[in-house]
Amino acid sequence: MPTVQHSVDVMVEFLNEKADKGESFDIHPFYQELTMDVIERIAMGQKGSRQFQNPFIDDVKGVFTR
Which ranges of 1-66 does DSSP label H, i.e. alpha helix?
Answer: 2-19, 28-43, 57-64
51 with 10: CB under 8 angstroms? yes
pTM of the model: 0.81
pLDDT attached to residue 61: 79
For the CA atoms of the chain, what is the radius of gyration? 13
CA distance 7 to 62: 23
Q: What is the pLDDT of residues 19-62, one digit of tens each?
A: 999 999 999 999 999 999 999 999 988 888 889 888 888 888 78
Q: How many CB atoms lie within 10 A of CB 9?
A: 11
* Residues contacting 32, CB < 8 A, separation 6+: 57, 61
